[in-house]
A and B are shown apart, each in its own frame.
Chain A
Amino acid sequence: MTAITYSPRRPRFRRPSTHRSARAVAVALLLTVTACGEPGDRTRLDGTVHIGGKIDQPGFALHSEHTDRGFEVDLAAYLGEQIGFKSKFHDVVSAKRERTLIEGESELVIATYSITPERDETVDFVGPYFVTRQGFLVAEDYQGIKGTKDVAGKSLCTVEGSTSENVALPPKTTLHMETDYSTCVRKVQQGDVDAVFTDEALLYGYVEQHKNSKAPLKVVPDVSYGSFNRYGIGLQEGWQGDCKKLRNALRTYLTEEWARDVKAQLPALVDAYPGTWENRFRPDPQDLNKYSSCEE
């Protein structure tokens, strides 16, 4: 909110007519600003809500045959039901997620969007709704990476603007940057790179997608670099009311719907960690207060 400072009692110059006009303008501006209300009182979450998402991430958000499907699509639908909006996804690449919110092109970003302090400077987050380590996706018959030491000297692919871009990898490792993961996956299948390096949960979507293809894939078990990523819902700064609505709805979602949606959309992940997948990937609902940007 813009603060207007006005001091009508002690004008520096005695120009009565001008002074009166200035006072009137200032009062009008003050009334206008007051009439707008606090940002927290207003909402952008009604009617159709434009959500910046991914279109090429199987398991999380995949646009195919005029249909969006995936865990994040289910999550958006649940939030829409709870809060009262209709979600409409549109594609946003990783590097432009902040910009689409700041410029108002999207009301929300739900796009495997990791909460980081740097991003939190420019946008608000509600989350996490998913926790994941960062791992390696390789061809199913690839044996080059069996432990963390084997990563040194390998050729890896990740997406620009992702947190994996900044992870300190072993010496002589080559990191190829692409604009989307589908390109990275294709490069692995073609043998152009050894592995795709990004969030493990995301990689299991590609395992599922390609399990019946000529070039099936696998996630290297128990090999991880970098820190845990926590996916949050991005929204423009200053919409505290919307932030709290989303946080409350997400809290219910984590306890009531999360497991069912993961089973439906990410079966390869569930199969990879039988009995422990919920503990590994589901955030504690109490963490919503720690990681969300909503002010109390």
Chain B
Amino acid sequence: MGDTDPLGETDPRRPAGWFRRAAARIRSALGGDRAQRSSAWLRRAASRIRDALTDDRLLVLLLLADLVTVLGASAIWLALGGDATTVGVTAGALLAFAAAMLPLIRRSDADGNRPLWPPFVLVVIPLAVLIVGLPALGAWAYLDSRAVDVKHRVTLAPEGPLKNGDRVNARVRADEPRPRLSITFAVTEHDPAAPVCVPSSELTVTLDAGSGKPQEQTGAADTGFTFDLGQGLTDVRLTIRLRAEQGCELDLSVASAQLDD
């Protein structure tokens, strides 16, 4: 590498010994040949970019691409619930770093050689953002499309055996609001020695929506009920009314509850 440093190819004013030693250690750790091949490949790529950037219009386009990529990724990150400060600082740092490359790109050494790495950095920034951002976006989309199991977040009150006409209030607290709730209740005999009651029993489940018309559904004890929640509802409240034959005492619990799209 001669007297090169990470930013200028041949700058005798900068101490290059530490860099050479560090690079040698990395080469040694990675396996000398492979590191050398990688280094040569990077240098060739950086050279091509440097040679292509003789035209200022291309440099402007590259800066524009950096700007669009960084700001676009930041906007998506923010829209998906990213912390505004973290997003702002990250985007600002990347853009400031790209801006800091400009004077270095313009500078030439005594032999008229332009620096190798600064133009390369302008390409690496949007690529890095895309390489990190796209898989992250894909992972988020996958996780977001999955149903959220909220079975253990459903509270029923009051507890205890239910008779015909009794009502139970169910509350579902959701950290990740979704537009649809699918819930199935388990109804079991309170006294297994008593005559069987479950097959003849029915539940009427009402979604107590904050605004709009309450949704009401009736079905057998093992029916799956599905309600449209709208957007952003994190505190879902249901009223369950039991219809059972005379003398029946039944226990109510939640068999499954999912929030999904």
Question: Which chain A residues have a beta carbon within 8 Å of chain B's beta carbons?
Answer: 114-118, 120-121, 133-134, 163, 166-167, 224-230, 287, 290-291
Contact = CB atoms under 8 A, between A and B. Distances in A.
A290 B195 contact: no
A230 B195 contact: yes
B191 A226 contact: no
A133 B195 contact: no
Interface stretch (B30-38, B61-69, B146-154, B242-250): B242-250
Interface of B: 188-189, 191-200, 245-248
Contacts of B246: 133, 224, 227-228
A120 B189 CA distance: 12
Q: B interface, by DSSP: helix, strand, loop or mixed?
A: loop
A290 B202 CA distance: 13
29 contacts: A115-B195, A115-B196, A116-B193, A116-B196, A117-B189, A117-B192, A117-B196, A117-B198, A118-B193, A121-B192, A134-B247, A163-B193, A166-B193, A167-B194, A167-B247, A224-B246, A226-B195, A227-B195, A227-B197, A227-B245, A227-B248, A228-B195, A228-B246, A229-B195, A230-B195, A230-B196, A290-B199, A291-B196, A291-B199
Given A287-B199, A290-B199, A118 B247 contact: no
Given A118-B192, A163-B193, A291-B199, 13 more contacts: A115-B196, A117-B188, A117-B198, A120-B196, A121-B192, A133-B246, A163-B194, A167-B194, A226-B247, A227-B195, A228-B245, A230-B196, A290-B199
Nearest to A121: B192
A166 B245 contact: no
A135 to B, nearest CB: 12
Contacts, number: 54
Given A117-B189, A167-B247, A227 B199 contact: no
Nearest to B220: A290
A177 to B, nearest CB: 14
Contacts of B245: 227-228
